[in-house]
Every structure is written in structure tokens, then in C-alpha cells.
């Protein structure tokens, strides 16, 4: 099963022009777009509806910002970081379910 972040990593690889931009400037532009889009929502909608519509209107700016943030992260991971990721993966897939099962037996 793929994790949601996988698609963003793939898209970031194809978004080279946006990735070269300044992440802080892209974040400011995205937030400005959100404020502007939220201010122009039709009356009578719920707050959640207003927020969803504003996010939908500014999706391209959000994608550019996320691609720039991913491009700014270091590409190489150290052996320690990889081993910590592996340990967390083992804990999530083996230890946590077994612990939950043992707790259920104790009830």
C-alpha cells in the first residue's frame, strides 16, 4: 500500500521549475491566495465549505509550495536516519498490533 506522501515525492521530481523557487515566497503567495479566496465565498455556506472551496481554488499554489519544500530537503539520509526509520516501521507493523492484542486479552 502506498503512503499519501509518495505521490507528492513523485510530483516533486517533475516540478523542477517550481522547486527552484523560494519556499517562503511560495508559502506567502499560497496563504494570500487562501485569504483572498476565503473572503469571496458565497454567503450561506458552512465554514467548512468555505475552507474547502478556498483550498480548491489555491491548489496549484499549494502544490508549488509543497514541491519547493520537498526540493529544499536534503536528498541523502544517513545510516542512523535509515535505521531509525526501519525501527519505527517494525514497531508500527509488528510490536503495536501485538501489544494491542495482548491488551485486549487482558480485559
- Cell numbers 544517513 correspond to what residue? 78
In tens, the pLDDT along 51-83 reads: 999 999 999 999 999 999 988 887 777 888 888
Residue indicated by cell numbers 536528498: 75
pLDDT, tens digit, for every residue of 5-20?
Answer: 444 444 444 444 444 5
CA distance 70 to 42: 34
Q: Which pTM does this prediction carry?
A: 0.52
pLDDT digits (tens, 9 = 90+) for 24-49: 999 999 999 999 999 999 999 999 99
How far apart are the two ends of the chain, measured CA to CA in Å?
32
For residues 26 and 68, what is the distance between their CA atoms, to the nearest angstrom? 8
How far, in Å, are 38, 83, 93 from residue 87 at the CA level? 42, 6, 10
**CA–CA separation, 25 vs 65, rounded Å?**
9
Amino acid at each position: 500500500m502506498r503512503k499519501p506522501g509518495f505521490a507528492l515525492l513523485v510530483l516533486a521530481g517533475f516540478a523542477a521549475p517550481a522547486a527552484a523557487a523560494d519556499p517562503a515566497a511560495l508559502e506567502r503567495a499560497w496563504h494570500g491566495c487562501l485569504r483572498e479566496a476565503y473572503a469571496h465565498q458565497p454567503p450561506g455556506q458552512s465554514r467548512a465549505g468555505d475552507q474547502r472551496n478556498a483550498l480548491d481554488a489555491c491548489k496549484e499554489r499549494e502544490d508549488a509550495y509543497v514541491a519547493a519544500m520537498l526540493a529544499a530537503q536534503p536528498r541523502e539520509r544517513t545510516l542512523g536516519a535509515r535505521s531509525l526509520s526501519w525501527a519505527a516501521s517494525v514497531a508500527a507493523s509488528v510490536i503495536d498490533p501485538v501489544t494491542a492484542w495482548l491488551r485486549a486479552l487482558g480485559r
